[in-house]
Amino acid sequence: MTHYPQIASQLFNRPLLAHRGTLEQYARAMAPRIFGGPVTFGGEWQAGLIGEPVRDVVDWEGNPTYTGPRMIGKTGVAVIEAEGALVPKGKWIGAMCDATSYEGIHAQVSDCRSNKDIRGVILEVDSFGGAVSGAFSCADAIHQLAQEKPVLAILTEHACSAAYLLASAATGSVIPKTGLAGSVGVIMLHVDYSKALDKAGVNITPIFSGARKNDYSPYEALGEEVYKKAVAEADTVRDMFIDAVAGYRKGRITADALRKTEAETFMGADAVNMGLVDEVGDPIAAANAFISEIGRKAA
C-alpha cells in the first residue's frame, strides 16, 4: 500500500526541478514512509525519517499562520524565504519535511507588491529545488515584483534547479564563495516495487481501458516506449526552464549557454563567470548593503 499519496504523487513519476543529490535524499527519507518499509535506491537498502516543520501559509491542521511579509525593522525591506524543498499545495505536506510552498511565496510576493511601505525585497534562497507544478508561475510573480521594486536574491548557500529558477527572476543576485547555483535541468523517478510484491505473495493485475492508461505503473518495470515518453516530457520542461531564465536574465546569460551547462551546478565565482549569478559576496554584508541602498533612495 502507498501511504501519503499526496506526497508520493509529487515525488515520483513526474518531472522535478530538483538537484540529483537532494532528490536522492528526499527519496531515501520519504520512500520508507510512503511504501511502508525499507526500499532500494541505487542498489542499497535505505530507511529513514525526517520531521522538520514546514514553513507555509497554513499549519498542519490547515490553520492560517501567515500574517504578512517579514519586515526588517523600519528599513522598508521585506524578506521572502525560499528554503528546503519547493512544493505546490504545501499545506498537504504539514510537518512532514522541511519545505517552502509556492503558495506561500505567492502570498508574500502579492503583499510586497501592494504594500507601499515595502520599497525593496530580499529573496533568501537556500534550496536544491522541488516540484515543477507551480514553479514557473511563482518565478513569473517574482519577476513581476522585480519590475516594480528592487528584489535581491541572496543565496544562503544553494539555489539549484527550481530554486535557481526563482532566484533568476530577481533584479540581482549574490552568491557566497562556497554557494552552488545552476542545475538547469529536469529529473524524474519511476518506482518499481513489483519484486517486493512478489516476495510478499501479492499479485496485482491492472485492468484498464486505453493503451497508455497504465503508463508509469509501479507494479511493473518501466517499458522502453514509456521511458522515451518520459525523456521527451523532461526535455520539454527543461526547454521551458531555459527560456524562462534566459528571459529573466536577458543580457547576462543566453539560452544557448544555459543549455550547454547540461544541468551542471557551479560554485561561487564560477557561477558568476557563467552569468548565472551577478556577484560573489557574504550574505549578511549583501543584505546590509541592499538595506542601505534602499534607505538612500528613500531619503
Q: Tell me if 148 is assigned to some domain.
A: yes
Whichever domain contains 19, its CATH number is 3.90.226.10
Euclidean distance between CA atoms 16 and 3, whole angstroms: 20
Helix and strand numbers, DSSP H then E, in the chain: 10, 14
Q: At what angle do helices 224-248 and 135-148 cross, to 10 degrees?
A: 0
Indicate the DSSP class of residue 182: E
> In terms of Cα–Cα distance, which of 285, 81, 266 is closest to 179?
266
Q: Tell me if 55 is assigned to some domain.
A: no
Euclidean distance between CA atoms 47 and 50, whole angstroms: 11
Q: pLDDT truncated to tens, each residue of the chain (299 aa)?
A: 455 565 566 566 667 666 655 555 555 555 555 555 544 444 332 322 222 333 444 454 555 555 678 899 899 999 999 988 898 876 544 334 578 889 889 989 999 999 999 999 999 999 999 999 999 999 999 999 999 999 999 999 999 999 999 999 999 999 999 999 999 999 988 888 888 888 889 999 989 999 999 998 988 888 999 999 999 999 999 999 999 999 999 999 999 999 999 999 999 999 999 999 999 999 999 999 999 999 998 87
Q: Tell me if 62 is assigned to some domain.
A: no
pTM: 0.79
Q: Tell me if 225 is assigned to some domain.
A: yes
CA 173 from chain centre, in angstroms, equals 17
Catalytic residues: 161, 213
> Which domain does 249 fall in, by range?
3-39+68-297
Q: Tell me if 45 is assigned to some domain.
A: no
Q: How many domains does the chain have?
A: 1
Euclidean distance between CA atoms 219 and 195, whole angstroms: 9
